[in-house]
Chains A and B, each alone.
Chain A
Amino acid sequence: QKEVEQNSGPLSVPEGAIASLNCTYSDRGSQSFFWYRQYSGKSPELIMFIYSNGDKEDGRFTAQLNKASQYVSLLIRDSQPSDSATYLCAPSPNFGNEKLTFGTGTRLTIIP
């Protein structure tokens, strides 16, 4: 069982600031991670996939993975009201299965 923990929030961030979302995990065997964004009443959509230690940047989003400390984070620069959503993290399944355990998600609100 892969335990994944996220602060449920809500996390309120002023527009234009950096939003920082964190996720810790218990399985040291986890090699790569997903960040999904879910708008209220909608289905999740993948926004980042990270598989190596360090940072991965994609536009205003940066994912950070620290395997030694067992955490993965998502930074959103220049936050926009459209970033208001719930963010879910999950370790990718082990090879040979499709078992996926999501964190409970962090609800982010960007304040104009």
Chain B
Amino acid sequence: EAQVTQNPRYLITVTGKKLTVTCSQNMNHEYMSWYRQDPGLGLRQIYYSMNVEVTDKGDVPEGYKVSRKEKRNFPLILESPSPNQTSLYFCASRASGSYEQYFGPGTRLTVT
């Protein structure tokens, strides 16, 4: 089944404790993105990648890191999480010849 998977789906952590949210797609898509969604602010892009080893900032990259060492994986790294990073996070991917993005199921992160 073609899909985008994210892990974990739910995470509660404390300020300053490094964490990684994984994202994996099995569709051989070139493009991948990370978004966060907050009430009243909508869906905002954090980082995107256009292929292996090619990443760039979205609208809200501060406090986040990404890497794209393999085509299928695009992890989101929070080196020192803070409460303002409490949010719902989505990973998405699409093929270079298509306009449709496929979203993962989301990761709800709470930083206390």
Q: CB < 8 Å: which of B40, B45, B50 contacts A100? A: B45
- B97: CB under 8 A from chain A? no
Q: How large is the interface on B (under 10, 10 to 19, 20 to 34, 35 or more residues)?
A: 20 to 34
Nearest residue, chain A, Cβ from B4: A43
The CA-CA distance from A49 to B94 in the complex, in Å, is: 14
Task: For chain B, residues 60 to 112, give those with C-beta under 8 angstroms from any C-beta of chain A.
Answer: 90, 99-101, 103-106
Contact with A along B16-50 (1 / 0, CB 8 A): 00000000000000010101000011111100111
Nearest residue, chain A, Cβ from B30: A98
The CA-CA distance from A43 to B59 in the complex, in Å, is: 19
Query: What number of residue pairs across chains A and B have CB atoms under 8 A from each other?
Result: 55
Residues of B within 8 A of A97 (CB): 48, 50, 56
Q: A99-B56, A102-B44 are in contact. Are A43 and B50 (CB under 8 A)?
A: no
User: Is A44's CB under 8 angstroms from B43's CB?
Assistant: yes
User: Is A101's CB under 8 angstroms from B103's CB?
Assistant: no
CB distance from A65 to the nearest CB of B (A): 15
Residues of A within 8 A of B45 (CB): 99-102
User: Is B41's CB under 8 angstroms from A46's CB?
Assistant: no
The CA-CA distance from A34 to B102 in the complex, in Å, is: 13
- A62: CB under 8 A from chain B? no
The CA-CA distance from A104 to B42 in the complex, in Å, is: 4
Residues of A within 8 A of B35 (CB): 102
User: Is B42's CB under 8 angstroms from A88's CB?
Assistant: yes
- A8: CB under 8 A from chain B? yes
